[in-house]
Each structure stands twice: as C-alpha cells, then as structure tokens.
Structure 1
Amino acid sequence: MKRRLLLVSNSTLHGSGYLDHCQQHISSFFGKNVKRVLFVPYALHDRDAYTKTARNKFKTLGGGNTFRLLKSLYDNNVVAEIRKRVMEDGVPYMGSSAGTNVATISINTTNDMPIVFPPTFSAIGLVPFNINPHYLDPDPNSRHMGETREQRITQYHEEPDTPCVLGLREGSLLLVEGNKATLLGSTKARLFTSGKPSVEYDPGSDLSFLLSDAR
C-alpha cells in the first residue's frame, strides 16, 4: 500500500503559531522534492483567508469544522478521488483537526458542532479507525457537569461494530507510511477499544496494529 499520511491533532498549540509545533514533522513528511501542495480550505467559511494563512506557513497546513469540510468534499465529488490518489498513487496526505477527522472511517468522533449536514458521516477512509483530535483528559478540579471526551467515546462504543478511537492530545500526530503507523509529537495518545480498558501510548510508539485490526 502506497499511502503516506500525517494526521495532526491540532493546527495551533498554546503559545505558538499556526502549525509551528509540528513544522519539522511537516518538512520531513513532504521532503525537498514536493514543490506544490494542494490545500483544501473547505473546513472554514472564509476560504480565501484560510488559504492565505496556509500559504504563508508553507512559504516559511487543514483545521476548521469537520461537518463543513466533509460536506464540501462530497459536494465537489472529491472523496473517492482523494482516496484513490492517496491509497493507490501514493500522493501524500496531511490533515490537522478536521482534516484528520475526515481521513478516518467516519466523523462520528469529532468534537465539532453539525453546522451543516453532509450526505453521510462516512469519511475518506484512509485508515480503518476513528480519531478524536484535541483529546482532553477529565479535569478532577473542574465544576463542569457535562460529559467528558472519555464518556462521549464510551457512548459511541455502545453502538455495535464501532472501530477503535485514537484520542490525539494536542501536540500529538500520527505518521502513516504504507502499513506502518508511528505516534509522533510531544504528548501521549489514548486508545479506546469497545469492551476493553483504554491504553496510553508514548510518542514514538508503533501503532501499526491499528491499520489491520481496528476493533
């Protein structure tokens, strides 16, 4: 399999600028031979401003709303084409936040509000599991009474035949090269599997098993 993916939890890390926290990983991922990058700005309403932000970063990546991004991908009939180009032709794919969500099986585990309605929650399917970008741990000192991310993912796994969910904390990213997956970045990731205890993984961990067994 020719796929090469860089799936980032977040575009901006506290205390740094747009994609600053993973700039070295991005440079290594694309290498010196990549001269042109196709940026898909569908995740935000102001596409021109979003493109300008990404263009400025590449001169010296997407984020936004997952529902808007996926709807626009279907509206423009590019979901199947992106999958073909990545999986069969080996075109590198990078996504952050919403761009990471749509690279998975579905957007069922996004944190975003459904501000628009795509024709399906099924996503591009570049990996056979789901990701929860910006994953947050429960704060024992918080007075917030709403559900935690862990509780929401547990609710998702109450439904039958749901795949694993990789909780990518801010500062973490997943590099996929063919059938090999490696956790990169500065923070741990948490893996949720239906009917099993969650597991923590350190940066540098080999997560290739997720590419063949995502349940």
Structure 2
Amino acid sequence: MTINALMLSASREGNTPYLQHALPLIAPLTQRAKKWVFIPYAGVSLSYDDYLHRVAEALTPLTLDLRSIHNYDDAKTAIRDAEGIIVGGGNTFMLLSKLYQYDLLGLIRESVLEGKPYIGWSAGANITGQSIRTTNDMPIIAPPAFEALGLLPFQINPHYINQVQSGHNGETRAQRLKEFTCVDPAMPVIGIQEGSALWRQDNKLTLLGDKEAYLFCGAQQEMPIPPGSDLSHMLTPQK
C-alpha cells in the first residue's frame, strides 16, 4: 500500500479564514500531485459551483489545477484522470449517498490504495473510517448503507468538542460516543478537534496540530491523545 491521506477535522479553526489553518498540512500532499478533483457532494445549502470557487480560492497559494467532479460527464473518469482527490465537508449522509449513487466508493478506495493522495475535511474525513456511524450530522437522506471508504480501521468523529453548555440538557459529544461504544465496544473512535488532523502515510498514522485527540473504545472513554502522537498501532484492525 502507498496510502497518503489527510483527514482534517474542519475547514476552519476558530475565526481563521476558510482552510487557512490547513494550508501547511495540505501542502506536503501537493508536492507532486497538481491535478486534483474536488468532490462537493456534502454541500447541501450552496451550489457545487460556489463550493468549488470557495475551495479553489482558499487553495490558491498551492497553485493547484482543481476541478469539480460535477463538471465532468462521467464521475469515474474524473477520479481516474486526477492526480489527487479532495472531498469537502457538509452533510455526511448526503456525501455518502451520492458516492453510492455514482458507484464511486470502490474506485476512490482503490485509487488511494494505489497512491493517489486524498484530502478530506469534516464529512470528507468522516468517510475515511469504517462507517459514518459517528458523524455529527442529521440523516437528511438515507444512503444505501453506512459503510464508508475504510481507509482507516476505526471510526472518526470530526469537530470533536465536549463543552457543557450551561442550561442545556442534551447529551455531550462524549456521551454520544459512549453510546456508540456500548453498541460496538470493539470498534475504536478517535475524536479530532478543530485545527487538528490525522495523516496516514502507508503504515504510519500521525496526529497533526497542537490539540489533543480523544480515544473511545469499550471501557476506554475520552482517553487523551497528545498532539503529534504516532498512532500507527491504530492501523492494525482490532480483534
């Protein structure tokens, strides 16, 4: 395998401009790959053209040839012709539904396994796990299945935060993820905070950024993962 995949928690960190914080993290994946296809399917409340413009403008310093998959007559050709794949955030259920509709999951996975770099944030990061069962999004549409790309042998929870709002009686993110581990105690979940990312390079997995991530698995609940940690052991499927 020659996987080179970057899973960003979010498109923004705090009040920074769109994708600005991510540019230093994205840059290493663009050293050789210059022709990229953008997948905007997670965007629901804005047009695909507007989404492409927003991303292209933010990535201008990297001088990429970025085209959206919706501008191709054949989506599979877009994936095959590109040197890299970028998947934007939005609604994870809509994104996965479209990938199933156009029969792209297998092709994207195969392309990444063969060395085509992959960059995704939010929903685009969520689909790199085993399934989308730990997304934060509302199921506004029902995909044929929850199974995702499986580039990682565990689950991701982007935008992780466990802030308790005074006067709010809903469950925290940690409580929601505990519900998942009660149902599937053998499947790990890594919650990544905004501003951080997971970077998989073949059999090496690293937590990027200056914020902790958190591990949920069985009896292990919200176990801190220090910034910069080598998480390569997480690439071995749990038994």
Q: Which amino acid aligns with 1:73?
A: L
Q: Does 1:166 align with 2:190?
A: yes
**1:75 correspondence with 2:115:** no
Contact 2:178 2:221 in 1 (8 A): no
Q: Is the 8 A contact 1:156 1:162 kept in 2?
A: no
**Aligned counterparts of 1:110 and 1:78: Cα–Cα separation in 2:** 20
Residue 189 of structure 2 contacts residue 216 of structure 2 at CA under 8 Å; is this kept in 1?
yes
* Aligned residue in 2 for 1:127: 152
Displacement, 1:29?
2.4
Corresponding position of 1:143: 167
2: distance between equivalents of 1:153 and 1:56?
35
Say whether residues 1:99 and 2:98 are aligned partners: no
Show the counterpart of 2:226. 202
Partner residue of 1:192? Answer: 216
Supply the distance in 1 between the matched residues of 2:189 and 2:30 (Cα, whole angstroms).
26
The alpha-carbon deviation at position 59 of structure 1 amounts to 1.9
State the one-letter code of the partner of 1:39.
F
Q: Could you tell me which residue of structure 2 aligns to residue 3 of structure 1?
A: 3
Contact 1:39 1:51 in 2 (8 A): yes
Taking the aligned partners of 1:192 and 1:161, their CA distance within structure 2 comes to: 9
In structure 2, the partner of 1:23 is: 23
Match in the other structure for 2:39? 40
Identity of aligned residues (%): 42
Could you state the TM-score of these two structures normalised by the residue count of structure 1? Answer: 0.94
After superposing the two structures, state which structure 1 stretch, 200-209 or 154-163, moved more: 154-163
4+ residue runs of structure 1 moved beyond 3 angstroms? none
TM-score (norm 2): 0.85
Equivalent position SS for 1:204 = coil
Structure 1 residue 138 displacement after superposition: 3.3
Q: Does 1:211 align with 2:210?
A: no
Deviation at 1:161, TM superposition (A): 5.5
Structure with greater strand share of residues = 2
The 1:197/1:66 distance shift into structure 2, 3 A limit, reads closer
* 2:51 corresponds to 1:50: yes
Give a deviation string over 1:122-162, Cα, whole Å, max 9, x none. 101111000000001232x6221000111101101111455
Instruction: Tell me if structure 2 keeps the 8 A contact 1:22–1:185.
Output: no
Q: Distance in 2 between matches of 1:213 and 1:207?
A: 13
Cα RMSD for the two superposed structures: 1.4
Write out per-residue CA displacement over residues 58-107 of structure 1, whole angstroms, 9 at most, x where no aligned residue.
222611110010001111110000000111x1101110000000111000
Q: By how many angstroms is 1:13 displaced?
A: 1.6
Structure 2: distance between partners of 1:191 and 1:160: 14
The whole-number CA distance in structure 1 between the counterparts of 2:186 and 2:130 is 10
The one-letter code sitting in structure 1 at the alignment partner of 2:56 is R
Question: Is the contact between residue 101 and residue 131 of structure 1 (CA under 8 Å) also seen in structure 2?
Answer: yes
Q: Indicate if the aligned counterparts of 2:207 and 2:230 stay in contact, CA closer than 8 A.
A: yes
SS at match of 1:37: strand
SS in structure 1 of the partner of residue 37 of structure 2: coil
Cα offset, 1:214, TM superposition: 4.1
Distance, in Å, in 1 between the alignment partners of 2:223 and 2:208 is: 16
Local SS of the residue matching 1:198: strand
